[in-house]
Structure 1
């Protein structure tokens, strides 16, 4: 029995690694059968660990979302609230634009759950993580009045969707974010 548990853990880890690579290459529509082939397991093993495509995508994105949540917490006490917010927004933009399918998943989250109330919703998790950064920046008058984390995540999703198929989506997304920031939080004259 312990051998099966170890095998199951190895299969899960291998499937997740392969799924992350395939999703990065092919987006949210990556073939479950291809993932199984590359991982060296049968499609039944994929379905045993991930009962559906959404479960697989959630697992692939969970690690990245957790990293962004951790970064937001680390940045929360930085003296310069604007710099902290911009660093976090840059990280979210890079993740969303370079991992094909993440922007689509965020967009689906926004469409299915506009308030982001579903606990597994990536948008809800990013909203919870980024909201303190936006509020703190607002208190320091480092963002335009009325700007919310929901606004910023919608902008990032749009940037990611517009750039994820380009040759260098990260660079293009960084440029568009910089243009957006100039309108959202211009430097004082």
Structure 2
């Protein structure tokens, strides 16, 4: 499956690639992630995707690890609960969904199999929740219409709570009169 990344994640990973001259295995993983990514605005990223500052439980070769927070900073002095995207495992987890498995290969030929077990916290989903928008749904979504057997439109799906239906004047011959006052 293609990694799902936010526009912010893409900007950060692109900057990392521009400045990176290190481990060839890390660079290959970074390029693969950037080249294969499906990009979402932060408000549209599904709530089961590991993003920056997410708190995640995962396994490596069947051994449970975490919870860890996926962080942007790098260094050897990170707290034990932090996993940097400048490390192979942190970069590999970024953009994966709960239940997804990814194999990474190190420069020395070793392999690790990573699996996302649980996503405890995702900042984008938390922001949507605090703003009163539903989990796992984009902030803006197109109206879903059901086609009849005659090829016409029969009815719209139910509106979300707090939304009003739009009234259409059937006699307008397609001429849009513009916005109407409530």
Q: Same fold (TM over 0.5)?
A: no
Larger radius of gyration: 2
| Greater percentage in strand | 2
| Greater percentage in helix | 1
Which category of TM-score, normalised to the shorter sequence, fits these structures? under 0.3
